[in-house]
Structure 1
Amino acid sequence: MKRKFLIDVDTGVDDAQALMLALSIPDIEVIGITCVSGNVDVDQVCRNTLKVLSVCNRLDIPVYRGSSKSLAGIVLEASYYHGKDGLGDSYLSKDMDMGLLQREPAAVAMVSLINKYPGEITLVALAPLTNVALSLRLDPSFGNKLKEVFIMGGNTEGRGNSTVSAEFNFGADPEAAFVTLSDLPCPVTMIPWELNLTEASCHPWNWFDDWISHNTPKAQFNKAITHIAVYRQRVEMKSPFYRSCDLTAMAVAVDKSVAIGTESVYATVELSGTLTRGQMVVDWKGFLGKKPNVILVKKVNVERARQMYDEMIK
């Protein structure tokens, strides 16, 4: 029996790569993809998601449009990094048929799918957690019926990439992140921002250059969408390594053995701080006296991950 995956995205470059990876794993059945505003607006996220499915010949997978704003109505986007179209300004998704989208709103669809397959679904959340929080509020039993959850988001050292101290997905909707961490009773594995800043999950540029040079439709698509992000990392940031946060998260989700260093902790989200709103707060010393609610990934097997990345673009 195939493993059932439900994937929540704000499809920019790394979401696209993560989807390609999930779709390349033979024993995984992606039963739905839910879209939310994040890297770009939700309609563009839907277009980009459909384009990825088109490249992978998987337009049979249902795609659902989700929230266009955070729970508090604030919009934070990352077009500077991902391009105005979310896919490196390749404009490869501009002509996608939006009529392919399902009519059911994302949060409603998430609840329906979980109730259809209780205890079977792995939720992989790669975006601001608005859709997830709405699902938790729509159905109080939502979290109990999930098999497990993998979240790309949050930070463990107060290093911000969207504000002074918040990671983008949590900073884009702090209330949703707070609700998600507070209300999910199932196993939750988190791939935090700081993991993507070191060799613990990144890749040398010579490997990346070879990776995008393969002559397949998927590899050519990958090359086309990454050029802006690569410029930001390689030239502006002068990073010695290439990183793709959502791709790392998906690698852990599809193969748990990729996570070779983890720690169980209690984590929550700051909602009121003037400078720290949206920052994930980890109770390293147990001051709050609460049981661990997340498993933090602190190191990954990059060699194993690269094997999967090579396979996904064939």
Structure 2
Amino acid sequence: MTIVDPGSVGSNITTLSKSVNSNRRTNMSSGENSRQLVVLDVDGGVDDAQAMMLALTHPHVQVLGITCVAGNVKVNQVCQNVLRVLKVFGRPEVPVFAGASVSLLGTHVDACHYLGQDGMGDVPDPDPPSADLVQSEHAVSALLRLSKEYPDEINLVATGPLTNLALAVRTDPGFPARLRKLTLMGGNIHGLGNVTPSAEYNFWCDPEAAHVVLEGYRSLFPITVVPWETCVQDHDISWDTWMDICAIPTKRGQFHAAIQQQMIAKQKQHRLFSAHFHTYDLYAVAVALFPEVLYKTLEVYARVELKGEITRGQMVCDYNDKWGKHPNVRVVKKLDLPSVLNMLRRALE
């Protein structure tokens, strides 16, 4: 286990990277000075939409595509939600790909009770985008193709269950080596869950896929993970601050405010760990594109529990090096929250 401050993040990653790519990766600057190529893998909820908004609006970011996976809602609805965000933000040229409709074991449990039946607050869309805009190519095929067209350049950010990513590495074991880096929102580091007492939703939805990703991508570099506990325990957003963001009067701002009203109501009702607002997927995109927002990270070896009767889906971290394995995840513990919220403001203005 290694505790890392922002100044040493690059060197720690490099030591675990393949030498042929290490110099190229460590010399790349953050998104402020160079073009960042991004692929987003999403499951269509309100927080996925926020993550998309940040990536779609930054002038130094090129979103090569958005791959969709069943999670918060069914995969066809995920695609529709993504198309809706692209329309509001004036980015219809970004290709959208439908991916896995069920977990590796053939199951699917949505989060409609929390995010609305459509995953986006059930806000009516009087002029919905045509489903014909979804590409005919499968999401997994698109991931593999894009990684060959842009080797060592793609920042892959996943904010839903990891089924598409697991299928990609199982189909082509060389896929991770062609990525620049991988950032996930999901998992947990203290056994604190939001769908069971011990498991976070994205990992719990497809534990086998999460296991495959943590093991199948670790040979290249530590995977950056924004765990659920970090989002809800250490990054409280005051209601005054959040409602000020929701009051941005632009078309984008009004759309953002409308789709999250159901989630806001749920958070006020249940008061997760505090009486403040919490968001999630936004942080994964911020960390992936702007590493300067990182304040504290932790490098550790982690696996996903697959067999436990009450712990299935939990990400178990080997803090005491009992397994004697090199770290495979870089856990985000603390980030510059005001900077991230300012990024969101700019995206909505």
Q: Is contact 1:252-1:259 (8 Å) kept? A: yes
Alignment of 1:176-215 (within 5 A): 176-184=209-217, 185-187=219-221, 188-198=223-233, 200-215=234-249
Q: Is contact 1:230-1:242 (8 Å) kept? A: yes
Aligned to 2:259: 225
Consecutive unaligned residues of structure 2, counting only runs of 5 or more, are 1-33
Q: Is contact 2:84-2:128 (8 Å) kept? A: no
Structure 1 residues 60 and 171: alpha-carbon distance in aligned structure 2, compared to 1, 3 A threshold: same
Alignment of 1:11-30 (within 5 A): 11-30=44-63
Q: Is contact 2:48-2:281 (8 Å) kept? A: yes
State the distance in 2 between where 1:92 and 1:69 align: 26
SS at match of 2:64: strand
State the distance in 1 between where 2:124 and 2:112 align: 13
Alignment of 1:66 onto 2:113: no
1:45 to 68, 78, 94: 78
Structure 1 residues 6 and 93: alpha-carbon distance in aligned structure 2, compared to 1, 3 A threshold: farther
Which segment is superposed worse, 182-191 or 26-35?
182-191
1:81 to 102, 108, 114: 114
State the distance in 2 between where 1:97 and 1:51 align: 10
How many correspondences in the alignment? 313
Alignment of 1:270-289 (within 5 A): 270-289=305-324
Provide the TM-score with structure 1 as the length reference: 0.97
How well do the aligned residues superpose, as a CA RMSD in angstroms? 1.2
Question: How much has 1:236 moved relative to structure 2?
Answer: 3.0
Which segment is superposed worse, 243-252 or 203-212?
243-252
Aligned to 2:287: 252
SS at match of 2:155: strand
Question: How much has 1:276 moved relative to structure 2?
Answer: 0.6
Provide the TM-score with structure 2 as the length reference: 0.88
User: Residue 79 of structure 2 aligns to which amino acid in structure 1?
Assistant: C
State the distance in 2 between where 1:281 and 1:233 align: 27
Aligned to 2:13: none
**Deviations 1:111-154, CA, capped at 9 Å, x for gaps:** 00001111010000001000000000111100111110000000
Question: How much has 1:94 moved relative to structure 2?
Answer: 7.7
State the distance in 2 between where 1:15 and 1:94 align: 21
State the distance in 2 between where 1:286 and 1:93 align: 55
2:125 to 86, 92, 104: 92
Consecutive unaligned residues of structure 1, counting only runs of 5 or more, are none
Aligned to 1:312: 347
User: Residue 37 of structure 1 aligns to which amino acid in structure 2?
Assistant: A
Aligned to 1:31: 64
Alignment of 1:75-154 (within 5 A): 75-92=108-125, 95-154=128-187
State the identity %.
43
Alignment of 1:4 onto 2:27: no
Q: Is contact 2:247-2:253 (8 Å) kept? A: yes
State the distance in 2 between where 1:232 and 1:134 align: 33
SS at match of 1:85: coil
User: Residue 318 of structure 2 aligns to which amino acid in structure 1?
Assistant: D
User: Residue 214 of structure 1 aligns to which amino acid in structure 2?
Assistant: I
SS at match of 1:147: strand
Which segment is superposed worse, 89-98 or 112-121?
89-98
Q: Is contact 2:67-2:97 (8 Å) kept? A: yes
